[in-house]
Structure 1
Amino acid sequence: MRNWLGPLAFGLILAAVTTWAAIGAIPYGLMNVAMERLGQGGINTMSHGNLATPARQPVVRPSPDLAYSSCPYDLSAGPLAIDVTPVPGRYSSLSIFDAATDVIFVRNDVEAQGKPFRIVVARDGQAVPAGAEVVRTTHDRGIALVRLLLKDPKEIGGLNAVRRQSTCATVTKLK
């Protein structure tokens, strides 16, 4: 009976270590894939994607009634400023995800009172502009995602001009 206790204990330890490693690594791997798929405009640059179709789904199960704008970011060169301009009379939201896929910030158009707003994303210890609304993170990388609700997919052309006013860029001046 003792002959199988050693292999059983080894198997259980190996299973526990593998599970722990997978749970720790999978979110980072998923974020890397998402950043690659959504980062067609580059890092620290807002891309205003086309509407999702059955043939074009950059992320799993995108909503066909939402227009997505995305900013894959890397804070290694400094903090990131995200400027969001809500489209009047439409639901929109900004969600910021860190490298572990955790949501670190959310604001919608109602909370913003329909007014443009700026968020600065920064690592702990990075200097930020005075008076800025700051979201601190422990990760250099992640994605900021702006969603705009459409009543009809055909109306995207008329809303694109306002949607494209939302931007992101590395903070270069600390005023």
Structure 2
Amino acid sequence: MRRWLGPLVLGLIVAAAAGYAATLAIPYGLMNIAIDRLGQGGVNQMSHGNLAAPERQPVVRPSPDLAYSSCPYDLSAGPIAIDVAPVAGRYSSLSIFDAATDVIFVRNDVEARGKPYRIIVAREGQAVSAGAEIVRTNHDRGIALIRLLLKDPSEIGALGAARRQSSCTPVTNPK
């Protein structure tokens, strides 16, 4: 019996270490998949997707009454600016996720008082303009996601111009 104790303890230690490593790595892997799926319009650019359908579900468990706009971002070359233009009379929200899938910022149209706003996403130590609303992160990559509630799925086309007022762009010449 004693001969099995050493290998059993070693096996348990290896299993625990592997489980811990997987727990740390899985969020980054999932975010890479999400960035690939949502990055069809390019990195550091907002793309305004069509409604989710059973054959097209770019995000996990998408709501059929929400129009999604997404910006996979990469801060390695500098900060990005996310400009959000809420649509009057409609619920909308901006959520920013980092590479570990952690939500690092959320604002909805009520909190924004229905007015347009700008958020600068930057790594620690990156220069940004004074007075800007800054969201700092410890990761270069992530996703900004805007959700817009539709009253009826058929109105997505009519809201296209309003959705395109929201954008995601690299910040140039921060002061």
Bucket of the pairwise TM-score, normalised by the shorter protein? over 0.9
CA offset at residue 58 of structure 1? 1.1
**Aligned residue identity for 1:13:** I
* Map of 1:54 onto structure 2: 54
State the TM-score, normalized to the length of structure 1.
0.98
* Map of 2:35 onto structure 1: 35
CA distance in 2, matches of 1:116, 1:95: 15
CA distance in 2, matches of 1:58, 1:142: 15
* Map of 2:121 onto structure 1: 121
Runs of 5+ consecutive residues of structure 1 not aligned to the other structure: none
Q: Stretches of 4+ moved more than 2 A in 1?
A: none
* Map of 1:19 onto structure 2: 19
* Map of 1:106 onto structure 2: 106
State the TM-score, normalized to the length of structure 2.
0.98
CA offset at residue 48 of structure 1? 0.3
**Aligned pairs, number:** 175
1:1-175 pair list within 5 angstroms: 1-175=1-175
**Aligned residue identity for 2:84:** V
RMSD, aligned α-carbons: 0.7
**Aligned residue identity for 1:20:** Y
Identity fraction in percent: 79
Name the SS for the 1:88 alignment partner.
coil
**1:141-174, CA deviations, whole angstroms, 9 ceiling, x for partnerless residues?**
0000000000100011111111111000110122
